[in-house]
Amino acid sequence: MLWHTGQGASLSDMEIMGFDNWGIAEPGLPQYWLPPSIARISGILRNALGEPFFDRFAQEHGILGERATLSPNDSFSRRYGRPFIELIPYLIKACTKEILEGRGKEGAVYIDLTHVPEERMYVDHNGLWGLNILRGFDWKKKPIRIAPICMGDFKGGGVRIDENGRTDVQGLFAGGDVAPGSSMLYALMTGVRSGRSAVNKALSLSMPELDAKVNEWVDERGEELKVIFHRKPNKNGDPQKIKNEVKSIMWRYGGVFREEKGLKEGIKGLKEIEQDFLPMIFASGSFRKLREAVEAINMVKVGEMILKASLFRTESRGYLQRLDYPKQDDKNWLKKNSIITKGEDEMKIEAKPVDLIWVRPDEVQEGER
């Protein structure tokens, strides 16, 4: 397959893929992310029955901080007594729980902004951006339907790097969303460091000569692309349909809540796509289709990494929520990264220790987990 690149770089914590509960699911509005703003975190999450379900969820799960007000007039941070960033995994779980237990509507819950003073929509640029997305929707008259979505820039996994962006493949550097971590600031910082390191490395080397083995690999990959490019349309090889099937499998088995049975089903489903559909994938002379074909191939492999790594980590942590292992296990997992490397026939997953600088498992109290 196209993903094989010699020895291959190690990947870390691919199971920690990010979700957010602010996906717009309102008919007639773009299926986009409702951006963070003062207005958004002043709203009230409601289910299809009109109940402010996150208040109940926060109390039942011990989420409330000491100074929680539970006042609908306060922002989330004051209302629940914790920094908003700490609430995100709980918000996702609560929204998903309402939907799965039948208290949503057509796969969604609601964010109610009808009580929010209009001037709060203009406090920050994201409020203005939100108003632009909601053009034609009167948020003062009715709540907006939302649902959890997968957010690539919230993920925690990626190509394993050191502080200078070096991978464990000689001469290969990575940064930004390719590497473990998320946020624009992280992308800028790692991009600068890995870019500077790559340039310094390149300046210290003479132009390398590619050996016969590398040239042979390049030729083989080129021939694979040519075959896909010229292959005629067929019922099993449409790249768009394959991508949609991968998305369906990943959302069904690798979504917000995961468990052993579902993860194994998902891995089986991706293997079937790899065996039955990818060999027939076609571009029929279209470079756009060729790009989609390569994306589909890579989606299958990355999906397999996420599901297998999720199966490997037997706990719940942050964005990884295992229904069969609902608690965070700091004793066994805080000190470990799950590392994926390329084996002879398939990927290998193992746990490698982390050098914990600020906190150690024996220092974590039960109430802090």
Q: Which of 360, 270, 352, 362 is nearest to 11 (CA)?
A: 352
| pLDDT at res. 153 | 64
User: Which residues are CB-contacts of 139 (< 8 A; sequence separation ≥ 6)?
Assistant: 113, 114
What per-residue confidence (pLDDT) applies to 1?
Answer: 36
Which pLDDT score is estimated for 2? Answer: 37
Give me the mean pLDDT over the 182-206 stretch.
88
Distance of alpha carbon 49 from alpha carbon 28, whole angstroms: 22
Q: Of 303, 276, 368, nearest to 157 (Cα)?
A: 303
Task: Tell me the residue type at 277.
Answer: F
pLDDT band at residue 364 using 50, 70 and 90 as cut-offs: low
Residue 5 has pLDDT above 50, yes or no: no
**pLDDT at 365 (0 to 100):** 53
User: pTM for the complete prediction?
Assistant: 0.84
Q: Residue 77's pLDDT band (boundaries 50, 70, 90)? A: very high
DSSP codes joined into one string, 68-105: ----TTS-HHHHHTS-HHHHHHHHHHHHHHHHHTT-SS
Least confident of 13-22, 183-192, 352-361: 352-361
In this prediction, what percent of the chain has a pLDDT beyond 70? 94
β-bridge partners, 173: 166
Q: Which residue has the tokens 């000689």?
A: 170
Residue 151 pLDDT: 74
C-alpha–C-alpha distance, residues 49 and 167, integer Å: 51
Provide the pLDDT confidence category of residue 4 given band limits of 50, 70 and 90: very low
Q: How does the average pLDDT of the chain come out, rounded? A: 89
- Whether 31 has a pLDDT exceeding 60, the answer reads yes
Instruction: Report CA 17 to chain centroid distance, whole Å.
Output: 3
Domains and CATH numbers, the chain: 11-15+158-201+212-353 (1.20.58.100), 20-150 (3.90.700.10)
Q: Is the pLDDT at 367 greater than 60, yes or no?
A: no
How many alpha carbons lie under 13 Å from residue 256 in its C-beta half-sphere?
A: 19
pLDDT at position 7, please?
Answer: 60
Distance CA 12, CA 338 (A): 6
Is residue 346 pLDDT above 90, yes or no? no
CA distance 174 to 281: 29
